[in-house]
Amino acid sequence: MKTFAISPGTPDVAGFYDPRTFSIQYVVSDPATRECAIIDPVLDYEEKSGATATHHADELLEYIEREGLTVAWILDTHPHADHFSAASYLHDKTGAPTAIGCQVTEVQALWKRIYHWPDFPADGRQWDHLFADGDTFSIGELKGRVMHSPGHTLASITYVIGDAAFVHDTLFQPDFGTARADFPGGDAHQLWHSIQAILSLPADTRLFTGHDYMPDGREPQWGSTVREQQEHNKHLNAGIDEAGYVELRQRRDRELPMPTLILHALQVNILGGRLPEPEANGKRYLKIPLNALEGAAWE
């Protein structure tokens, strides 16, 4: 199975595929200065045993060292529902600042209630920087821009860096379609408008998605272009309008079970990827609320 690929350009984009969670991590680098950003890193978690590890994050660090890169940013596109974020671990290893969209505070407030954490500080302090829509940042000589892309989650953002855009779970590969919008805080109407904003980027913009589920057993893929999405995305072709898309999305979402790790992952990811503090016996514990996601489909 293909789990690594380079997309050369400005920036260079290295994609690392995690078969366990179907996730793609990215190292995005400026060829001129060798500075880079890490986007959506994965902290390994095995739900049956409760074991955690840093295999995938260490793979990123090995690549960065091998290529002679310097980490400028550690970026998450949103608080993930299907894997733990390794942002905190990589911050400790590299010293690079962590960042996410400022609407993460709304996600924190929502999940603070679900987890019944009355003392939880839902103010985003768990990251070094919170980006607002339209904010800019630098990776060496490359300029990055932030687009707020809600719909999949309240806090989803797209990073536009050079001729590439990192569209998280808003768009998948054209043969798989688009993101679900039924998580707490999700909205199919908002998702439609976020997709339209992404597809208004220049047609040759490279788009990099956050997951690939390998329809029909093909090899993993994670790169496309705006033009390819416009012409071939299975949820967006045939001239579909907002009402048609929302009906399709909501019908599809009613059939989908929740991700296996949603209740595990959100309590880690609204902490910026930090695991719960050890209790008196030195062990860390996750808190799983029962019947918290009413109406979710069973597998």
Q: Is 147 left (phi over 0), alpha (psi -120 to 50) or beta?
A: beta
pLDDT tens digit sequence for 93-140: 999 999 999 999 999 999 999 999 999 999 999 999 999 999 999 999
Tallying the residues shown for the chain, one arrives at: 299
In a domain, 19, yes or no: yes
Domain limits for position 27: 4-269
**pLDDT averaged over every residue in the chain:** 97
In a domain, 226, yes or no: yes
Share of the chain above pLDDT 90, in %: 97
pLDDT tens digit sequence for 158-191: 999 999 999 999 999 999 999 999 999 999 999 9
Q: Are 24 and 83 in contact (CB under 8 A)?
A: no
Q: In the sheet that 136-139 helps form, which strands lie side by side, from edge to edge? A: 136-139, 142-148, 157-161, 164-168, 206-209, 223-225
Residue 239 in this model has a pLDDT that exceeds 90 = no
Candidates 199, 200, 114, 102; CA nearest to 156 is 102
66 half-sphere exposure, CB direction, 13 A CA radius? 8
List the Cα angle 242/246/248 in 5-degree steps: 120
In a domain, 277, yes or no: no
Q: How confident is the model at residue 238 (pLDDT cuts 50, 70, 90)?
A: confident
**pLDDT value at residue 55:** 98
> What's the CA dihedral at 124, 155, 6, 175 to 10 degrees?
160
pLDDT tens digit sequence for 1-54: 999 999 999 999 999 999 999 999 999 999 999 999 999 999 999 999 999 999
Question: At 186, which CATH number?
Answer: 3.60.15.10
In a domain, 54, yes or no: yes
DSSP 113: H
Q: How confident is the model at residue 237 (pLDDT cuts 50, 70, 90)?
A: confident
Residue 92 in this model has a pLDDT that exceeds 90 = yes
Domain tally for the chain? 1
In a domain, 173, yes or no: yes
Residue 276 in this model has a pLDDT that exceeds 90 = yes
**pLDDT value at residue 48:** 96
In a domain, 102, yes or no: yes
pLDDT mean over 213-239: 95
